[in-house]
Amino acid sequence: MRTPALIALALLLAACPANLEEQSHVSKLRVLAVRADPPELMLEPDAGLPATTLTALAVEPTDAGISMRFALCLEITSAPDASLPCPGSAGLDLPATGPLSARLDLADPRLAALAAQTDAGTFDAGLDASIDQGIPLLIGFTARSEAQQLDGFATLILRSPARGDAGTNPPEFNLEVGDGGPIAPKQVVRLQPITPPKDDPTKAYGFSFFATAGSISSLRSTDTTATGQPAPTWVEWTAPESATHPVRFWVVLRDGRGGTAWVERSADVGP
């Protein structure tokens, strides 16, 4: 059985029972996000078929080497069955561009060959849906690190320019861990994302926080309330009870329109 690790663009996670590890705690191989650059595939007149580069934020607390395998799934859906073999017999492997990245190019001749062979309800038939509204393309991935393996999915949108220009990924941003000074065991400090001005002020940024030790008060924050008012984006982090060198932090930023960015920082606890 495949373990659903990630549906890209989804920001709501199921609540965890008290006896399970916190979602914000990274103690083993995790895929915290998948970014596409560009984040949408746009079918524009006379522009040729689009392409994008997929990159995973795949992390492991011991710094063991991680490799990723990506595939374009032949099923058109944004809610895949966890047992779907993609990568595998239900997917088209994508060429790697690095240990954690791969290239999806809709001009790949293998896609044309697949489209000629598939039946209604699969890849080619799904592309006949309303391209103006956007069609979800399912990306399957497998992350490996030593004896660990993790499978999951991400979703890309293929559309026409009818709903506006293509989205862009947020720019690089920073993370402040407290005031930057020494951190004592059990000390409570703020984790504060610092973002540059938005390319589109109507975007609402959502942040997800992760750490290898200590406790984070909330997995997520947002810079905009449900009524459109500005909101504080920081969360509190309680340092572990004993000295830890270092603690690693990751913050994933999503703009609600497919754009994704992240930052990694570290801090020492205790002498």
| Range 77-90 burial, b when 16+ CB lie within 10 A, else e | ebebeeebebbeeb
CATH of the domain at 203: 2.60.40.10
Element (H, E) at 258: none
For residues 91 and 134, membership in a common domain is answered with yes
Instruction: Answer yes or no: is 67 within a domain.
Output: yes
Number of structural domains found in the chain = 2
pLDDT score of 117: 53
Whether 133 is covered by a domain: the verdict is yes
Which residues of the chain form beta strands (DSSP E)? Answer: 30-37, 40-42, 51-59, 67-73, 91-93, 96-98, 101-105, 135-145, 148-159, 174-177, 188-194, 206-211, 215-216, 220-222, 235-238, 244-254, 260-269
Structural domain ending residue among the three candidates 163, 184, 209: 163
For all residues of the chain together, what is the average pLDDT? Answer: 86
Helix, strand, coil percentages for the chain (3-state, nearest 5): 5, 40, 50
- Last residue within a domain, chosen from 132, 163, 194: 163
With beta carbons less than 8 A apart as the criterion, state whether 213 and 27 touch.
no
Q: Is residue 24 part of a domain?
A: no
Reference 34, options 71, 2, 7, 3; nearest CA is 7
Q: For 127-142, give the secondary structure using H, E and C.
A: CCCCCCCCEEEEEEEE
Q: Is the pLDDT at 242 greater than 50, yes or no? A: yes
Q: In terms of domains, do 42 and 70 share one?
A: yes
pLDDT(215) > 80? yes
The 10s digit of each residue's pLDDT in 170-204 is 999 999 999 999 999 999 999 999 999 998 888 99
23 within domain boundaries: no
pLDDT at residue 129 greater than cutoff 80: no
Q: Answer yes or no: is 3 within a domain.
A: no
CB 207 within 8 A of CB 193: yes
The per-residue pLDDT for 135 is 87
110 in helix, strand or coil?
A: helix
- 71 and 182 belong to one structural domain: no
Q: Are residues 46 and 152 in the same domain?
A: yes
**pLDDT score for 111:** 82
Q: Do residues 47 and 149 share a domain?
A: yes
Looking at residue 101, what is its pLDDT?
98
Q: Is the pLDDT of residue 20 over 80?
A: no
> Do 140 and 236 reside in the same domain of the chain?
no
Domain assignment present for residue 15? The answer is: no
> Do residue 102 and residue 214 come from a single domain?
no
pLDDT score at 169: 96
Show which of 163, 186, 218 is a domain's final residue: 163
pLDDT recorded at residue 97:
97
Instruction: Give the domain extent around 116.
Output: 30-163
Give me the pLDDT at residue 115, please. Answer: 57
Is residue 195 assigned to a domain? Answer: yes
Do 154 and 235 sit in the same domain of this protein?
no
37 shares its domain with 131: yes
Residue 8's pLDDT is what?
34
Enumerate the H helices of the chain as residue ranges: 109-117, 123-126
Residues 146 and 258 occupy one common structural domain: no
213 shares its domain with 249: yes
Residue 60 and residue 87 in one domain:
yes
* CATH code, domain with 74: 2.60.40
Amino acid letter, residue 254:
R
Predicted TM-score of the model (pTM) = 0.86
| Residue at 58 is within a domain | yes
